[in-house]
Amino acid sequence: MQKRRRFNQTMTLKERLTAFAEEAREQAKLLRAGNERDELLRKARQADMAAHIDEWTNSPELQRPK
């Protein structure tokens, strides 16, 4: 049985997702309009949504279903 490799993250999930989105947008600025640029912008939007969902799920106001 293989041992699981574990990593201690230095940044929160939200910080990593936000950094990824910013980097993807910067790379997209350097490209001409086309499929590759559209794909980078789509991934940036998805990372922003994931960061927002992570923030929402970890908010103290969120109540458990009854």
pTM confidence score? 0.79
Cα–Cα distance for residue pair 41/46, rounded to 1 Å? 9
State the average pLDDT over residues 35-60: 94
pLDDT at 65: 66
pLDDT at 66: 64
Show me where the domains of the chain are located. 13-57
pLDDT at 34: 95
